Amino acid sequence: MKRNPQGDRACLAAIARKAMIDRKLEPDFPPAALQQLAGIHGPAGATDGVRDLRGLLWASIDNDDSRDLDQLTVAEPLAGGRTRILVAVADVDAVVTKDTALDRHAVHNTTSVYTPATIFPMLPETLSTNLTSLNEDQDRIAMVADMIFDADATLVESELYRAQVHNRAKLAYRSVAAWLDGTGPAPKRVQETPGLDENLRLQDRMAQKLAEVRHRHGALSLETIEARAVFEKDAVTGLVVDGKNRAKQLIEDFMIAANGVTAAFLDSRKLPSLRRVLRSPERWERIMRVADGYGVHLPGEPNAAALEDFLFQRRKADPTKFPDLSLTIVKLIGRGEYAVDIPGSTAPGHFGLAVRDYSHSTAPNRRFPDVITQRLLKAALAGAPLPYSNTELHDLAEHCTEKEDDASRVERQVRKSAAALMLSDRIGEHFDAIITGAGENGTWVRVFEPPVEGRLDGVVSLDVGDRMRVRLVSTDVQRGFIDFIRD
């Protein structure tokens, strides 16, 4: 394929659209949904029973280019070393009601699909980036998880309710992380908003405590490399890896906490809930053999704490190879899924996060399971009939898992196509690489720069983790194939 850089974005957008259709995902909103959208003229307003929390120092932290803002956070120091953490989640259900045309489209796709060239949002951008988004300097209605933690990060009490909130600052992970690490200035809105700097530092301190507690209980420190395409106008000019940082950790740990208290709240009311679960890995014996290769002997039964200790030691010993070890463990653990927790049953929990009670509730603009949970919560708070029967919840859990997998495959395919496109005019060049997979299906290598993965042709008597020089021999942009041979 002869590359036309001016057409890179259009090429990838076409590949993405075809991949959506091939996976039976709908890339466009149907006429009925657009007709419903035309009748929505503003965000949801406050009603009786909605608390007014607009005076708090709410802020959002998300990707640099995110416009669908699902959450705000704020902290408050309390007596005795306790800390109050509040997480506000966009009340999407207040605008997109059940069984409407917009809702039916969201039920079909169940998630927004993010590809390098274009985004296929679960809800129209008029909603997801505006009327149901917790935008800066705007009043919005939200579901709030209000949590109090002891000095050792033990949850003391929690409450869930609806409230009116106001986003004081739209912040980005990279700039907040650089400021917290002392390698960059405070973001402009932090400087301009009195008290926000110390509030964010309080949030950071509590997030680090929460992370420490989770990892002591076996939450896994996994770090895989996932490169995103960088565009200059319409040309793909590079691939960059957005690694973990303190700002991402802050949001991750607060969302895990909010999702936990949400699931526990429904359980305490003896109501069903839609859980996000990651079962104990069936391929634990293979994980044991991987650890044996490093001289570490794991227990005979799945043990998250022992696996986390192994991962922690490997990250410390060899940070360069750690992402590839992480990828191996991720593949052996398996993918998460949605499951219904019925009162009186035992929730399978989330092996990777080392938590038992865990829902998805904090991203309703992007994920339909979060909308389902939001509706269950609102019914519970109002003492109203549940919006879904147990049978409907089971069907939705299976459907959401299936469509999430489909969306992930679309995103992965287009990322590979973007990498193939960028390398299409570099056939014959040589690269340093590391083997990331070796088995009956072939051998796979990851090139260090640019960070792409491809197939290694020919018979190679090496194993995962071994390094070598490779030469690029072919690319297939439409299928996202990149092929190397050993030098």
User: In sequence order, what DSSP letters do the residues of 164-186 get, joined into one string?
Assistant: EEEB--EEEHHHHHHHHHTSSPP
Q: How many Å apart are CA 108 and CA 102, to the nearest integer?
A: 10
What are the Cα distances from residue 92, in Å, to 20, 66, 127, 224, 365?
24, 17, 9, 32, 7
What are the Cα distances from residue 16, in Å, to 233, 242, 474?
18, 22, 21
CB atoms within 10 A of CB 406: 20
Q: What is the pLDDT of residue 4?
A: 65
In the predicted model, is pLDDT for residue 39 greater than 80? yes
In the predicted model, is pLDDT for residue 64 greater than 70? yes
Q: Which of 34-43, 120-129, 466-475 has the lowest mean pLDDT?
A: 466-475
Comparing 296 with 349, which gets the higher pLDDT?
A: 296
Mean predicted confidence (pLDDT) in 153-163 = 97
Mutual angle of helices 368-382 and 246-268, in 10-degree steps: 40
pLDDT in tens, 95-107: 999 999 999 999 9
| DSSP secondary structure, 295-358, as one string | T----SS--HHHHHHHHHHHHHH-TTTHHHHHHHHHHHH---EEEEE-TTS----BTTTTBSS-
pLDDT band at 450 (very low <50, low <70, confident <90, very high): confident
Peptide bond into 450 cis (omega under 30): yes
- Mean residue pLDDT of the chain comes to 92
Task: Enter the CATH code of domain 426-486.
Answer: 2.40.50.140
pLDDT band at 282 (very low <50, low <70, confident <90, very high): confident
pLDDT band at 478 (very low <50, low <70, confident <90, very high): very high
Comparing 227 with 307, which gets the higher pLDDT?
A: 307
pLDDT band at 219 (very low <50, low <70, confident <90, very high): confident
Mean predicted confidence (pLDDT) in 31-43 = 97
Q: What is the pLDDT of residue 2?
A: 58
In the predicted model, is pLDDT for residue 396 greater than 70? yes
pLDDT band at 459 (very low <50, low <70, confident <90, very high): low
Q: How many Å apart are CA 101 and CA 370, to the nearest integer?
A: 18
Cβ(169)–Cβ(190) below 8 Å: yes
What are the Cα distances from residue 460, in Å, to 20, 325, 449, 474?
35, 20, 22, 18
pLDDT band at 143 (very low <50, low <70, confident <90, very high): very high
pLDDT band at 286 (very low <50, low <70, confident <90, very high): confident
Show Cβ contacts of residue 256 under 8 Å, excluding neighbours closer than 6 positions: 210, 214, 353, 355, 358
pLDDT band at 5 (very low <50, low <70, confident <90, very high): low
Q: Which helix (H) or strand (E) holds 257?
A: helix 246-268
Mean predicted confidence (pLDDT) in 231-254 = 89
Q: What is the pLDDT of residue 467?
A: 81
Q: What is the pLDDT of residue 464?
A: 67
Which of 332-336, 373-377, 424-428: highest mean pLDDT? 373-377
pLDDT band at 6 (very low <50, low <70, confident <90, very high): low
Mean predicted confidence (pLDDT) in 42-46 = 92
Edge-to-edge strand list for the sheet holding 139-149: 51-52, 155-166, 139-149, 83-90, 71-77
Comparing 410 with 286, which gets the higher pLDDT?
A: 410
Q: How many Å apart are CA 70 and CA 400, to the nearest integer?
A: 19
Comparing 367 with 308, which gets the higher pLDDT?
A: 367
pLDDT in tens, 357-381: 889 999 999 999 999 999 999 999 9
Mean predicted confidence (pLDDT) in 346-366 = 86
Place of tokens 């794991």: 298
Q: Which amino acid is present at 457?
A: D
Q: Which of 5-19, 154-168, 368-382 has the lowest mean pLDDT?
A: 5-19
In the predicted model, is pLDDT for residue 1 greater than 60? no
Which of 138-142, 235-239, 299-303, 346-350: highest mean pLDDT? 138-142
Any idea of the CA torsion for 352, 355, 359, 363, to the nearest 10 degrees? -60
Domain with CATH 2.40.50.140 in the chain: 426-486
Q: What is the pLDDT of residue 439?
A: 73
